Amino acid sequence: MTAPLASIGAAALGFLAAIGRLAIFTGQTLSHLVRPPFYGREFATALVQIGYFSLPVVGLTALFTGGALALQIYAGGARFSAEAVVPQIVAIGMVRELGPVLVGLMIAARVTSSIAAEIATMKVTEQIDALVTLSTHPMKYLTLPRVLAATLVMPVLVGVGDVIGIYGGYLVGTERLGFNAAAYLQNTADFLEPLDVVSSLVKGAVFGFIAALMGCYYGMTSDRGAMGVGRATKSSVVAAAILILAANFLLTEAFFSA
């Protein structure tokens, strides 16, 4: 009779415990921001790995999305004679929503998985223990540089994604849908507001923080063996994607609710 209730209770307690563990891990990570030593070389490496090497995937994702968005808005707008709003809607759609969210999800796929797999493998092969015996704190050496680099570099990636996405819409608009090039750019520039850009970059920073943190958290808490590494990698990407989408909703509410 009480078994279903007990199961629900156990699941709820497990969920709360997981949130608690993640909160403690986040606090520990942030606490190392103000406690030397700092590992500049690891930070620089993470910047290049997360930022520079993500540019192709971010660029291609944004380019195709911007182009598809222009086609959709043109086709949808034609139903009520609003085809002319393509530049404005592409701009606002890319900058406010699609740019940060798609870049965030691509980073979750590319970077979160990579961080989780790398750290989990280090854990199961005792490399994390080796770091400790070599007087190096794993959170300082592995977690903080990655989380900090992702938080700082993601706004840049989102900015690049926004521009390339708008350019994708511009290409389709001018080459396929017959828009005047100068008018398209003018409409885009006139319609965008500073808050649109600020919200986009802030979202980028938050999504970068989430993506790297999830990779580090699941890597550090991985179980043993190949299955443990696989589970950590999968869980990190799922958790990062869900948290990014949830954070996107909250940030949109914060920036744009009337």
| Site map (CB under 8 A) of other proteins, residues 129-148, x = contact | xx-xxxxx------------
Q: Which is nearer to other proteins, 187 or 222 (CB)?
A: 222
What is the length of the chain?
A: 258
- In this structure, the number of other CB atoms found within 10 A of the CB of residue 148 comes to 22
Stretch touching other proteins by CB under 8 A, among 77-85, 119-127, 193-201, 244-252: 119-127
The residue from 126, 190, 193, 223 that contacts other proteins (CB under 8 A) is: 126
How far is the CA of 245 from the CAs of 41, 85, 105, 185, 203, in angstroms? Answer: 32, 27, 9, 30, 10
Please give, one letter per residue, the 3-state secondary structure of 148-187.
HHHHHHHHHHHHHHHHHHHHHHHHHHHHCCCCCHHHHHHH
Segment 15 to 44, residues that bind other proteins, using CB under 8 A: 37, 39
Stretch touching other proteins by CB under 8 A, among 127-135, 157-165, 194-202, 231-239: 127-135
Cα 170 from Cα 151, distance rounded (Å) = 29
Q: Which is nearer to other proteins, 141 or 184 (CB)?
A: 141
Residue 33 is given by DSSP the state G
Stretch touching other proteins by CB under 8 A, among 60-68, 94-102, 121-129, 147-155: 121-129
Q: Which is nearer to other proteins, 176 or 224 (CB)?
A: 224
Stretch touching other proteins by CB under 8 A, among 69-77, 95-103, 118-126, 148-156: 118-126
Q: Which is nearer to other proteins, 105 or 212 (CB)?
A: 212
Shortest distance (Å) from residue 127 CB to other proteins: 5
Cα 38 from Cα 46, distance rounded (Å) = 13
Q: Which is nearer to other proteins, 104 or 145 (CB)?
A: 145
Cα 135 from Cα 147, distance rounded (Å) = 21
Identify the residue whose tokens are 């700092």: 38
Q: Which is nearer to other proteins, 85 or 139 (CB)?
A: 139
Binding flag, residue 228, other proteins (CB under 8 A): no
CA atoms within 13 A on the CB side of 47: 11
Cα 207 from Cα 215, distance rounded (Å) = 12
> Which residues make up the interface to other proteins (CB under 8 A)?
37, 39, 122, 125-127, 129-130, 132-136
